[in-house]
């Protein structure tokens, strides 16, 4: 298993880091061209887009990966089903734009909904070849596709923004990424395009696919309910500010967790009958992620204002405090997203559904409390608290229901990262408060060096560096 993880880690790292750099540059450019209201409008359309995509695509991929009896004809048949359903849902999505335009009293939503409807067809169709590639552990091909599509999408987005496309620049960015990804995945997966619709192919995956579609809906709701409420309660401009703060909170998660998460089910599912082995490997990975998250969280919280200025410019000053509050949960974001794939890998689908329902209830109640209080700062605090609660609840359920262990062992993993965070935070806070480093970029550079220098010192002194090396070499740790 470790050999597959290391191989997948290398190629996934290359793809994810390249994608992050491309999206980072794109975000910086578009944030200086588009205003908060334009970005807020697109953010709201994306909420509904992801709703359809979450329900439709989240079930197919895990079901294909988990089922080891599917053949090439099954893949061809499933591809046709996905394409046909995608076309129907795309039309429904375009029509939904008229309703949303009336609810939010903004006619711009009609054109945006229709222009983004193509993404539903391409993403749903793409879920089949993408799942096949992951199932075959062709991580190299998957990540080359990611790099190429991200670059072309970024070029299209920036070029259209410079010629005055406004909010549609973001639409073109997403469309180019989706279409190019589909073309490359079809080519590399070698799925034969046949005009066939075999019901038996659907029957082979319908059980798990239905379950995961329900989970996908719940995850969508938990990730986007706050956007819906912020947009309705506070308006498009405030939603634009909140979406920027939220995107910074998720940035480390995209860099680190997205490297491991795509590998979990394809690799761990092959050892689903050996729970003790799966548990030990997972807890070692989680230990590393928690340690890495400590300095990252401290950096984003203490430097939230400068990070916002550097990435987005002066017009996003209102995002300073929401960013600092939400980024206090970066350590949660970098680890919580591994819980779902682990339930799947252990064939605990119903337990995952229960855990997802509990998490969405906690988040929904917190968002509603934030809306009642009536300001963006309160909303950010409530959302942050909900994420932390969900981390502990999800961890407890995973250990007990899937990994056959205790919550106490899960909590023990937090001790070293917590000590590390405290050691880093105290000196960094006072240095940042009394020493002026100059411009924004220079300040971020020196502060980053200080924080991660302290982190490196902690790893060496505490012995955690040796532990991490042992994990990478597949040796026992103390």
Instruction: Report d(CA 94, CA 48) in Å as an integer.
Output: 11
Is pLDDT at 297 greater than 50 in this prediction?
Answer: yes
pLDDT band with cut points at 50, 70 and 90 for residue 261 = low
| Predicted pLDDT at 477 | 41
> What are the angstrom distances between the C-alpha of 249 and each of 45, 156, 234, 321, 326?
20, 26, 20, 12, 6
Instruction: Report d(CA 15, CA 255) in Å as an integer.
Output: 10
Is pLDDT at 59 greater than 80 in this prediction?
Answer: no
pLDDT band with cut points at 50, 70 and 90 for residue 473 = low
Mean pLDDT of 50-67: 75
Is pLDDT at 19 greater than 80 in this prediction?
Answer: no
Q: Determine contact, residues 426/300, Cβ cutoff 8 Å.
A: no
> Does this model's pTM top 0.75?
no
| Predicted pLDDT at 239 | 85
Instruction: Report d(CA 141, CA 8) in Å as an integer.
Output: 11
pLDDT band with cut points at 50, 70 and 90 for residue 11 = low
Instruction: Report d(CA 79, CA 118) in Å as an integer.
Output: 16
**Which is more confidently placed, 266 or 180?**
180
Q: List CB contacts of 324: < 8 A, sequence separation 6 or more.
A: 300, 301, 304, 305
pLDDT in tens, 371-423: 999 889 999 999 999 999 999 999 999 999 998 899 999 999 999 999 999 99
pLDDT in tens, 127-160: 889 888 888 877 778 778 878 888 888 888 888 8
3-state helix, strand and coil shares in percent for the chain, rounded to the nearest 5: 85, 0, 15
Q: How far does CA 125 lie from the centroid of its chain?
A: 20
Mean pLDDT check: name the lowest of 18-32, 84-98, 222-236: 18-32
| Predicted pLDDT at 478 | 41
Instruction: Report d(CA 8, CA 263) in Å as an integer.
Output: 7
| Predicted pLDDT at 4 | 55
| Predicted pLDDT at 8 | 58
Q: List CB contacts of 241: < 8 A, sequence separation 6 or more.
A: 36, 40, 316, 318, 319, 322, 376
Q: List CB contacts of 55: < 8 A, sequence separation 6 or more.
A: 213, 216, 217, 220
Is pLDDT at 53 greater than 50 in this prediction?
Answer: yes
HSE toward the beta carbon, residue 239, CA cutoff 13 A: 25
Radius of gyration of the chain (CA): 22
Q: Determine contact, residues 59/212, Cβ cutoff 8 Å.
A: yes
pLDDT in tens, 64-108: 877 778 888 888 998 998 899 889 989 998 999 999 888 888 888
| Predicted pLDDT at 3 | 55
CB atoms under 10 Å from CB of 292, counted, come to 21
**Which is more confidently placed, 416 or 2?**
416
Q: How far does CA 235 lie from the centroid of its chain?
A: 25
Instruction: Report d(CA 142, CA 180) in Å as an integer.
Output: 12
Is pLDDT at 456 greater than 90 in this prediction?
Answer: yes
- The winner for highest mean pLDDT among 24-28, 195-199, 216-220, 246-250 is 246-250
With vertex at residue 382, the alpha carbon angle to CA 381 and CA 383, rounded to the nearest 5 degrees, is 90
Instruction: Report d(CA 437, CA 445) in Å as an integer.
Output: 9
| Predicted pLDDT at 325 | 96
Mean pLDDT of the chain: 83
**Which is more confidently placed, 221 or 275?**
275
> What are the angstrom distances between the C-alpha of 215 and each of 117, 228, 352, 408?
23, 19, 8, 27
Instruction: Report d(CA 401, CA 403) in Å as an integer.
Output: 6
Instruction: Report d(CA 32, CA 46) in Å as an integer.
Output: 20
Largest CA distance in the chain: 69
Mean pLDDT of 347-376: 89
Mean pLDDT of 164-180: 83
| Predicted pLDDT at 5 | 55
| Predicted pLDDT at 417 | 94
Mean pLDDT of 33-61: 75
């Amino acid at each position: 298993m470790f050999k597959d993880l290391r191989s997948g880690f290398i190629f996934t790292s290359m793809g994810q880091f390249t994608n992050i750099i491309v999206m980072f540059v794109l975000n910086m450019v578009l944030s200086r061209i588009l205003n908060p209201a334009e970005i807020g409008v697109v953010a709201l359309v994306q909420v509904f887009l992801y709703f359809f995509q979450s329900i439709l695509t989240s079930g197919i991929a895990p079901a294909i990966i988990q089922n080891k009896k599917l053949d090439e004809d099954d893949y061809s048949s499933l591809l046709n089903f996905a394409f046909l359903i995608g076309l129907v849902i795309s039309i429904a999505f375009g029509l939904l734009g008229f309703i949303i335009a009336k609810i939010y009293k903004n006619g711009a939503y009609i054109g945006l909904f229709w222009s983004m409807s193509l993404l539903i067809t391409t993403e749903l169709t793409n879920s089949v070849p993408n799942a096949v590639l992951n199932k075959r552990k062709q991580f190299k091909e998957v990540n080359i596709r990611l790099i190429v599509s991200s670059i072309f999408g970024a070029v299209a987005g920036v070029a259209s923004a410079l010629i005055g496309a406004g909010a549609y620049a973001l639409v073109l960015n997403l469309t180019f990424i989706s279409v190019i990804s589909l073309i490359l995945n079809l080519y590399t997966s070698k799925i034969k395009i046949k005009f066939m619709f075999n019901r038996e192919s659907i029957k082979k995956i319908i059980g798990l696919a239905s379950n995961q579609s329900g989970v996908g809906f719940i995850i969508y709701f938990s990730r986007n309910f706050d956007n819906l409420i912020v947009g309705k309660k506070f308006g498009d401009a405030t939603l634009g500010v909140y979406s920027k703060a939220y995107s910074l909170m998720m940035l480390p998660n995209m860099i680190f967790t997205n490297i491991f998460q795509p590998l979990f089910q394809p690799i761990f599912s092959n050892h689903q009958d050996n729970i003790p082995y799966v548990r030990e490997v997972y807890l070692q990975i989680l230990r590393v992620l928690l340690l890495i998250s400590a300095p990252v969280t401290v950096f984003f919280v203490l430097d939230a204002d400068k990070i916002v200025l550097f990435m987005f410019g002066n017009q996003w000053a209102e995002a300073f405090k929401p960013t600092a509050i939400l980024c206090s949960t970066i350590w949660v974001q970098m680890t919580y997203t591994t819980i779902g794939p682990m339930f799947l890998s252990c064939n605990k689908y119903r337990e995952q559904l229960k855990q997802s329902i509990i998490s969405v209830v906690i988040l929904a109640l917190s968002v509603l409390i934030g809306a009642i209080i009536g300001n963006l700062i309160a909303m950010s605090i409530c959302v942050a608290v909900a994420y932390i609660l969900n981390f502990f609840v999800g961890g407890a359920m995973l250990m007990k229901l899937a990994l056959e262990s205790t919550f106490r062992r899960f909590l023990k993993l937090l001790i070293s990262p917590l000590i590390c965070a405290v050691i880093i935070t105290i000196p960094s806070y006072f240095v940042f408060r009394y020493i002026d480093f100059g411009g924004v970029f220079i300040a971020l550079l020196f502060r980053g060096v200080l924080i991660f220098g302290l982190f490196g010192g902690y790893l060496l002194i505490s012995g955690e560096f040796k532990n991490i090396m042992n994990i990478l070499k597949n040796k026992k740790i103390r």
